[in-house]
Amino acid sequence: MSTPAALDPAPLDPTPVFDPATYARGVPYALFRRLRAHAPVCRVPEPAVGAWPAGPGYWAVFRHADVRHVLATPEVYSSHLGATQIRDPDTPADLDFVRAMMLNQDPPDHARLRRIVVAALTPRAVRELESAIEGRARELIDAVADRGRADFVDVTADLPVWTLAHVLGVPARDRRLLYDWSNRVIGYQDADHARSRTADPAELTPMGRAALARRPALVRADGSPVNPRSREALTDMFAYAHALAGRPRPGSVLARMREGGLTRDEFENMFFLVVVAGNETLRNGIPGGLLTLLDHPEQYAALRRHPELTPGAIEEILRYWPPVVQIRRTATRDTELAGRRIRRGEKVVVYHASANRDERVFTDPDRFDITRSPNDHVGFGHGPHFCLGAHLARVQMRAMLRLTLDRLPGLERAGEAVRLTSNFQNGLKHLPVRWRTDR
């Protein structure tokens, strides 16, 4: 494996890895490289961001081996103790509520909840979805093929939403609600996504319109923001979930949830998790993958000529453009990591985006290579919380990228990509592209 290059000896300030505005300019890979070399586990402050108050700071983890160790050791680095977002919940009640989510559980409770979703997302069930997903992807590409230009983020946005609606049993007319809910939760640090309101009441079912009427205010009377992951901020989503649960489609994730004996908090959090995790990751990963290919024309050309390289290309995209930048754990006891003493109750945040460029694991890690093998990336996480929708995500990425390359000749950028302001999701808001229409 390659070794780290000569590094700038200037003092290291890790604060930018926390600042959401950093990622609106681009993932700070150069800073990650220096931190891996000189401060692979270090303290990062949490300054106030806009109306969001300052936090106590956290331990950040940047090397591949340490990231995998934290993710694989829930008895020391808990998802449950403080939940999995850097920002602490506003109140003990908010923390208790969000702890009911599968993402915020440790074994063995995590396994009990995971089995409910796995039962509806088996490889066989996903295989049965593959032709439908490819058909929907073809419709989305064909709808714009004669225009010669489009915003690729808009072109692809419906595929994960459509797939998710199918898996959950959500009526097609209501699927835009899933888009708006996901924007509000994941994109709350970005002014455009935080106020997302794209669902047209005239197109919704009565159940969808009733939920839309319950959309909560995101700022309290005193001007303080509402935590987007609290029950207070999700009243419209949960009203819809309970209404939909009264008529679940047999075999859907929602039907499995009803049969699984979940508590009210577990049911609401499971619906919340599936809506967000099954949506936002793909909406960022697919445009990010195309942007990466367009920025590496020799790899783009190779993939067009050799479709058999597509599976490897998907893995390299997940390494090079990981949809999730970081995730939090909390120390259950005093421990040590990379020579740093971590106290019980302190936050420990692992950076997937840094681990995926670790020189100790990946030869020439800043090079995008669709033939890279082996490719031990952590784009879908690691350990007991490895993404259970990974197979379904790969199917959607493969369908959309393959059809884009095959059916939009001469594809190129038509303007600057606009990134999401978020220290959690590695996302794009806009990716203008153009192509020839002389097919």
Query: What whole-number distance in Å separates Cα of residue 373 and Cα of residue 369?
Result: 9
DSSP track, 321-381 = S-SB-EEEEEESS-EEETTEEE-TT-EEEEEHHHHTT-TTTSSSTTS--TT--S----TT-
pLDDT number for residue 127: 81
Determine the Cα–Cα distance for residues 409 and 148; give it in Å rounded to an integer.
10
Cβ distance 439 to 410 under 8 Å? no
pLDDT surpasses 60 at 64: yes
Q: What is the average per-residue pLDDT within 358-381? A: 98
Q: What is the pLDDT of residue 219?
A: 85
Q: Give just the sign of the alpha carbon dihedral 392, 159, 293, 324.
A: negative
Position 439 pLDDT exceeds 90: no
Q: What is the pLDDT of residues 15-40, one digit of tens each?
A: 999 999 999 999 999 999 999 999 99
Within 8 A by CB and 6+ apart from 71, the residues are 77, 329, 350, 378, 381, 382, 383, 385
Of 76 and 274, more confident: 76
335-345 average pLDDT score: 98
C-alpha span between 130 and 58 (Å, rounded): 41
Q: What average pLDDT score do residues 186-203 get?
A: 91
Q: Are the beta carbons of 152 and 403 closer than 8 angstroms?
A: no
What pLDDT score does 277 carry? 84
Report the first-to-last Cα separation within the chain, whole angstroms.
Answer: 44
pLDDT beyond 50 at 3:
no
User: What tokens were used for 1?
Assistant: 């494996």
Reported as a single tens digit per residue, the pLDDT across 107-123 is: 999 999 999 888 877 77
pLDDT band at 280 (very low <50, low <70, confident <90, very high): confident
Distance, in Å, from the CA atom of 382 to the CA atom of 378, rounded to the nearest integer, reads 6
pLDDT of residue 124: 78
**Band of pLDDT at residue 9, cut at 50, 70 and 90:** low
Domain boundaries, the chain: 15-434
Residue 5 above 60 pLDDT?
Answer: no
Q: What is the pLDDT of residue 10?
A: 61
Element (H, E) at 419: strand 418-419
Query: How far, in Å, CA of 407 to CA of 152, rounded?
Result: 14
Find out whether 328 and 348 touch, Cβ atoms under 8 Å.
yes
Is the link from the previous residue into 108 a cis peptide, with omega within 30 of 0?
A: yes
**For domain 15-434, which CATH number applies: 1.25.40.10, 1.10.630.10, 1.10.1200.10, 3.30.450.20?**
1.10.630.10
pLDDT at 279: 83
